[in-house]
């Protein structure tokens, strides 16, 4: 079973605050073909990663950094990528009808570490590297040692 106690324990080991999240659900099997950044950009067939060799194939996985965005590991490169997709910086991750919101995470050095997006019902969804997709109550619940903190929220109209 996908959302089994064993799989949940694996995720909670990395993100202990999920133990108290009533929305926490594992929603997909492990899939190395896409990552959190691609998932946030509604892509599941390519791994999005800033790299000077872009595009290339690594172990059968297509790696790209689309939209001509700034190509480095800084949080500003990730912000640039989503600005080029029509997102704008906003103040918070609160639910608003008729818009899409995303959260971009960074470490203490200012490098991007993760991205997640809000679903239309206000619950957040994240892809955990090559592992599972999950649902979580808010963007901040997965902050910590692994992903750092939410650096920037962005918004885009659903229209």
DSSP string for 22-51: TT-EEEE---TT--HHHHHTT-SSSEE---
CA-CA-CA-CA dihedral for 128, 132, 138, 140, to nearest 10: -20
Whether residue 66 has pLDDT greater than 80: yes
Q: pTM to 2 decimals?
A: 0.95
Q: C-alpha angle with apex 159: 25 to 142, nearest 5 degrees?
A: 25
60: DSSP letter: T
- 24-63, pLDDT tens digit by residue? 999 999 999 999 999 999 999 999 999 988 999 999 999 9
> For the chain, what are the domain ranges?
5-29+72-157
For 44, the token pair is: 């599941």
What pLDDT, in 10s, does the model give residues 119-128? 999 999 999 9
């Amino acid at each position: 079973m996908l959302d089994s106690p064993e799989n949940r324990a694996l995720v909670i080991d990395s993100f202990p605050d999920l133990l108290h999240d009533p929305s926490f659900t594992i929603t997909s099997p492990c899939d190395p073909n896409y990552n959190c950044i691609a998932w946030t950009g509604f892509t599941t067939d390519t791994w999005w990663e800033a790299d000077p060799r872009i595009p290339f194939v690594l172990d059968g996985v297509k790696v790209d950094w689309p939209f001509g965005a700034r190509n480095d590991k800084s949080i500003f490169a990730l912000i640039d990528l989503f600005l080029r997709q029509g997102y704008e910086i906003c103040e918070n991750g609160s639910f608003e009808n008729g818009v899409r919101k995303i959260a971009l995470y960074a470490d203490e050095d200012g490098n991007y570490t993760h991205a997640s997006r809000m679903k239309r019902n206000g619950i957040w969804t994240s892809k955990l590297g090559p592992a599972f997709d999950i649902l979580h109550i808010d963007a901040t619940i997965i902050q910590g040692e692994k992903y750092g903190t939410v650096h920037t929220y962005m918004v885009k109209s659903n229209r």
